[in-house]
Amino acid sequence: MNAPFHPQTTSLDSLAMGTRARVTSVDWGALEEAEACRLRHFGFDEGVTVEPLHLGPFGRDPIAIRVGRMTVAIRRRHAGAIQVQPIQ
């Protein structure tokens, strides 16, 4: 992962439910083209506020995340490519 270092940054999949955070970087290279395209469509981008809301009942996967005014479901693997900084 070549994300720039930020104090207290963490990947989106390790963020606790209900914690609001700001996206600091997205490792687009770790995703397939169509997946990256879909994430962009959902509005994932640097500076956007996200909040994980729900976890899938089996294996804590997928994750439902609020991004902007939308709620979207993505797999844990994809959330791992997104670096965030929790908002105090």
Partner 1 sequence: MNPLPLVAVAGSPNAGKSALFNALTGARQKVGNYPGVTVERHSGRLTLADGRPVELVDLPGAYSLEPASPDEAVTRDVLLGRQAGERTPDALVIVLDASNLDNHLRFALQLIELGLPTIIALNMVDLAKRDGLELDSKRLSVELGVPVIETVAVRRRGIADLQAAVDDMLSAPFCGVHERVKSDLIHLQRRAREIATAAVVSETPVRRWTHRLDSVLLHPVFGPIILAAIMFIMFQAVFAWSEAPKSWIEDGVAWFSNSVGPMLPAGLLRSMVVDGAIAGVGAVITFLPQILILFFFILLLEGTGYMVRAAFLMDRLMHGVGLSGRAFIPLLSSFACAVPGIMATRTIDDPKDRLTTILVAPLMTCSARLPVYTLIIAAFIPNTRLVWGVGLQGVVMFGLYIAGITGALLAAYVLRRGVLKGNSGGFMMELPKYQWPPLKDLVIGILTRVQIFLKRAGTIILGTTIILWALASIPQAAPGQKQSEVSIAGHIANGIETLVKPIGFNHDISLALLPAMAAREVSVSAIATVYSIDSPGEKAGATKLADKLKHRWSLATALAFLAWFVFAPQCISTIAVTRRETNGWKWPLFMVTYLFVLAYAFAGLTYWTAVALGL
Give me the residues that bind partner 1 (CB under 8 A), please.
Answer: 32, 34-35, 37-43, 45, 53-59, 61-62, 64, 68-75, 77-78
Integer Cα distance of 63 and 55 in angstroms: 5
Integer Cα distance of 52 and 63 in angstroms: 7
Q: How far is the CB of 88 from partner 1 (least distance, A)?
A: 18
Choice between 51 and 85, CB closer to partner 1 = 51
Choice between 3 and 55, CB closer to partner 1 = 55
Q: How far is the CB of 47 from partner 1 (least distance, A)?
A: 9
Integer Cα distance of 86 and 75 in angstroms: 20
**Which residues does 85 contact at the CB level (< 8 Å), separation at least 6?**
6, 7, 8, 9, 10, 21, 22, 24
Q: How far is the CB of 6 from partner 1 (least distance, A)?
A: 20
Choice between 3 and 53, CB closer to partner 1 = 53
